[in-house]
A = this chain, B = another copy of it.
C-alpha cells in the first residue's frame, strides 16, 4: 500500500446520469517521464475495488510497460476510495447518496486529467484488466483519434446479462447484512462483505483452479484458508461497502453503446474504434467468457482476439502467476511495436 499519489480535481463535474460533483477528485499515480513531444503516454485504469498500486505488477524495466520508455498514468476509478467515492465525498453526495457513475464518466474524467493537466493529445495505448478493460474499450470509443492502441484483458465493452446476475449476488450479499443500514452504516457491514467475498470466490477462479488446488501454490493451506485468508481478506482490505456498490453499478451498466451518439448501439460503438487492439479474454474466465470477446472483436476494425490459456480464470489478469503475466506482457510488447 502506498500513499504517494496525486489528486487532480475537476470542478462541477456533471455525470452522464445528471448529478454534479462539485469537486470530483481523480487520484492517480504516474510511472516514468513524459517526453517533450508528449507522445509516450499510456493510460492503465484500475479494476473493481483495485487501487493504483495493485496495477504495478505489470509495470517495470523488464516489462513492456517500461517506465524508462513510457509515461504510464494509472488513474483510480471514481468510487474506489481514493478518487471521489462514497467514502470520501462530503455531504450531500456522501455515502449511499453518491451518484451513479458510468464507464463513460470515468473515462471523461481521466481524459480531462490527461489532456488538461498533462497536455497530452495522443496516447500510445490504454490497457486494463476487468473493469480496466471496459475503460480501455471506452477510451477507444470516446476518443477514437487519440487512442492508438488498446489491450483490454479479461473484460468486455458491454457487461453481459450473466455478468449482471453474478454482480446481483455480490450486491445481495452486502445489502442483506442488517449492519449495512441501507448504506448509512458507521462501521463496515463486515458480515455482508465476507459473504460477498464467498460469492466472488467461485467466480474469480475457474473450476479447474480449485480442482487442482492451485491456491496452495499461493500459500494457502486449505480451501477454507483460501476463502478466509485470500477472499475475505480481499473484501476487508480497506474496502467500503458503499464504494463497492458504486463500482458495482458502474460495472453492471458498462456499455460503450451508451456513449453519446450511439444510442445504446454496442456494435456500432465497437465498429467505430480506430485503435489497434489485442483483446485478451482468459480461457476459463467465468464472467467474461471467451465467446463474448470473440463477438466483440468481430465488430472491431483492427482487433485480434488472443486468449490467455490456462485455468486461472478471471484472475489470470491479476498478476498472481508468472505464466499469465508473461503471456499478457508479451502481447503488450507486440502491440506496442505495431
- Interface set of A (CB-CB < 8 Å, partner B): 160-162, 164-166, 168-169, 171-173, 175-178, 191-192, 194-195, 198-199, 201-203, 206-211, 213, 223, 227, 286-287, 289, 291-292
* Cβ distance A211 to chain B, nearest Cβ, rounded Å: 6
Whether A160 contacts B207 in the complex (CB less than 8 A), given A176-B173, A176-B192, A191-B176, comes out as yes
Whether A195 contacts B169 in the complex (CB less than 8 A), given A162-B207, A176-B177, A211-B160, comes out as yes
Beta-carbon contact of A195 and B176 below 8 Å? yes
Whether A208 contacts B161 in the complex (CB less than 8 A), given A173-B199, A199-B173, comes out as no
Beta-carbon contact of A172 and B195 below 8 Å? yes
In the complex the two chains form, what is the Cα distance from A202 to B252 in whole Å? 14
- In the complex, which residues of chain B have a beta carbon less than 8 angstroms from the beta carbon of A172? 173, 194-195, 198-199
Beta-carbon contact of A173 and B195 below 8 Å? yes
Copies in the complex: 2
In the complex the two chains form, what is the Cα distance from A187 to B206 in whole Å? 37
Contact of A211 among B162, B173, B206 (CB under 8 A): B162
Beta-carbon contact of A227 and B161 below 8 Å? no
In the complex the two chains form, what is the Cα distance from A203 to B175 in whole Å? 20
Beta-carbon contact of B199 and A164 below 8 Å? no
Whether A292 contacts B161 in the complex (CB less than 8 A), given A169-B202, A198-B168, A286-B286, comes out as no
4 nearest CB pairs, A to B: A172-B195, A162-B210, A178-B178, A161-B210
Beta-carbon contact of B160 and A227 below 8 Å? no
In the complex the two chains form, what is the Cα distance from A287 to B286 in whole Å? 11
Beta-carbon contact of B161 and A202 below 8 Å? no
* Cβ distance A30 to chain B, nearest Cβ, rounded Å: 37
Chain B residue nearest in CB terms to A191: B176
Chain B residue nearest in CB terms to A313: B162
- In the complex, which residues of chain B have a beta carbon less than 8 angstroms from the beta carbon of A227? 165, 168
Beta-carbon contact of A164 and B195 below 8 Å? no
Chain B residue nearest in CB terms to A215: B161
Most chain B CB inside 10 Å of its own CB: which residue of A160, A165, A201, A211: A165
Beta-carbon contact of B169 and A201 below 8 Å? yes
